[in-house]
Chain A
Amino acid sequence: MTGLNLDKRKYIIGLVAILIVIVYLLRLLSLQIMSDDYKRNADSNAFLKKIQYPARGLIMDRKGRLLVYNEPAYNIMVIMQEQLGVDTLDFCNTVGITKEQYIERMAEIKDSKKNLGYSRFTPQLFMSQIPAKEFSVFQEKLFKFKGFYVEKRAIRHYATTCAAHVLGDVAEVSQLDVDSDEYYRPGDYIGKLGVEKSYEKDLRGVKGMKIMLRDVHGRIKGHYQDGQFDRVPEPGRNLTLGLDRDLQALGERLMRGKLGSIVAIDPQTGEVLCMVSSPTFDPHLLSGPDRGKNYQKLYANPMKPLLNRAIMGQYPPGSTFKTSQGLTFLQEGIINTHTAYPCYHGFRYGRLHVGCHGHASPAALAYAIQTSCNSYFCWGFYHMMQAKRKYGTVNNAMNRWKDYMVSMGFGYRLGVDLPGEKRGMIPNAEYYDKHYRGSWNGLTVISDAIGQGEVALTPLQIANLCATIANRGYYYIPHVVRSVEGRPTDTTYTRKHYTMVEEKYYNYIVDGMRRAVLGGTCKGANLPGLDVCGKTGTAQNRGRDHSVFIGFAPMNNPRIAISVYVENGGFGAHFAVPIGAVMIEQYLNGHLSPSGEKRAAAFASRTIGYGTRQR
């Protein structure tokens, strides 16, 4: 009876089995076909994209001599899981640390609060950037230290100790770098100063990528698809600088014990031949494992060695500025080449008196340049400001004057290929309106005419003024990098920038500067056979005067234009002129004559005492 009824139950049991299979097939459909999430999850689980670091580009000087290159350094890595039973004492002796340091470091690694992403199974950084020499000792014993591995990284090495400011340095990226450029990952290196920073994109190259398979513990199990999706890294581009290594080294030697800057430019190309900022430092200090410590020390130094004074220092140019004034007055027709102004120990107007030193009076332009006559340029400036018929108001005159200055590369950044350039200061009418509440005239601001007052230039701008005069009216934007391997030179650096002054007027200034060397303020720069033209400057400030010099040579085919700025060096002729002369000789002759060498040695050992109070 019940048998008949129960017979149907086989269908129900069969149906249950069929239903289960159908439900499971639907679930499979939703897992495997409807959703991509699982696939993505699986990939991020299993693929470890291992970055292959490209070699950073090398840096050479203008003659192809190596300045910066890469040296292998080794990071010692440890996998905690495997690191058991290591002879700690032997290990510590080999890598040169104490047992306490070892224990402390191990504790740091295990502390997942400090060491984010810690895993017992993956390599952790134990010591970073062991130099190759020390590493070779460690490597011999590596087999004894189970669980310790090495990771090869490159650190920057320097063939010379000079040009730290220009070359710059490389350090680990900051969080900001990582956020602003997706190229970087934490732990990558990036240029922080100098050309390392400004040419970062050329130097860094293109990272490669290896796709590895990683197991659940993070252990590497091999290449994905035999490496067919891997990418080989492209090395960074090499840089050739305009810098002359010998000239740079000499400049730094000459500036030893003094604050200031030497900038030399090749006027025919705009390439920076040397850029000395004193005090300087050994670039090795900012490379390798002690970078942070050394950086702090340099940063705290009251003499500010990290400051690149050549582009960041803003100084009154003093009398070197008179060249630009003469040019402006000539072009504007305020004076002609025969105009002469009286000078009896200075410029006198009412109660105003700008002092001058003894020389014949009245003076014409070339003679005024030769003798650096304050009175002459004050009169010229005064007449320009008072030329109501020409300009209408003093404001217009002032702004006209400012336009001339800007056309010569003052008041704005020149655009050198280094980070941190300052713009200097060229006042305009609005500035004085604000400053003097509208009540000012040519006399109020007369000191602008002799490179004092509100005028401030960087040593690079002063050198560029000199290059402009050497070129008789144009300049190229100064740049430290001559060429980048594998890419054309940037056209910004090959375009001539003309000033507002015609070429013919420049010849009078050149004449004056030549006469200054032959028989004027910078006789000390008279190098036989090199036809040097020069102009001194003695810039007043709160302390002792700054000693300034600009010069170029040879007169008719200039190959070097230089500015020397020695803080608190006194008269231009005291420090700046002889230093500039030695530099010119070195560059044009390729070496120093015995007398030049003697002079160089003498100046290298002369120091100026700076009280920290003045800083």
Chain B
Amino acid sequence: MFLSLKRVVKTGFINFWRNGFVSTSSVVVMTITLFVMGSLIFVNEMLDSSLELLRDKVDINAYFVIDAPEESILAVQGTLEQLDEVETVVYTSREEAEARFRERHKDDEIEIQALDELGSNPLLASLSIKAKDPTHYERINEFLQSDPSTVSTDGVPIVAKVNFNENKAAIEKLEQWMKAIETFGMVLSGVLVAVSVIIVFNTIRMTIYISREEIAVMRLVGASDMYIRGPFVFSGIMSGIIAATVTLISFYPLSIWLGPSTQEFFGDFNLFIFYTQNFGRIFIIIMLTGVFLGAFSSFLAVKKYLRV
């Protein structure tokens, strides 16, 4: 058993080396495939991160009536924070709202004048609520409209308005887009991977087709299936390992080069940082895919010529 394994490895290595041109072409095709797969990992990650960024920007604000006591508002905040759907709740008092207004319009005298002329602060206290998921806003909105804590002691609602309905259309649109992009991304990845696998499979099949007579001879001198197939499978694995190594190395300068522009475009996402931080995971995915592709394609391709 050990002797056969040793011979299979040795023969596989020698065949790989002597059939230089054929080996090179399968390595090249496999490298392209693995490159496509790696790029898909990056694109997915970029999409995820930009979707996350967009999600993060969505929130709803609940404005409270002018005479709503602060403790009632804080009580609502407390109840909201206990909801599973809620990520964060930030309280903005009327005074803070005014300060912010003045800060924002400090160059706009007319606005400031208008505010001054009113004599009293017209701005409302508010709670800015961020949900864990955009689909949860509907439910939070319902809560704000109906929960007993949002009603004052004399039965008047203290919530003046929730801007959910204004944001609703935007939130729903965003939802749809995210789902569409995710579905599209998955379908595209699937198609690309399938196409690459078929190309790799056919390339390896072709290299083995060249050896079909050799396989027939092996069969005739009484070599067992495993003994004939082994070297081809081993050569396939070698192609996979080399292709994976080339791919992983080529991602390095590429990610350095693309890093700054991805950061600029996607805000939070730097390709180079992502690649270096996730190198272990990407290494395993690319290497295993290469080895599996090479071994499996060779295994299947030889099968066809073993029926002598």
- A and B bind: no
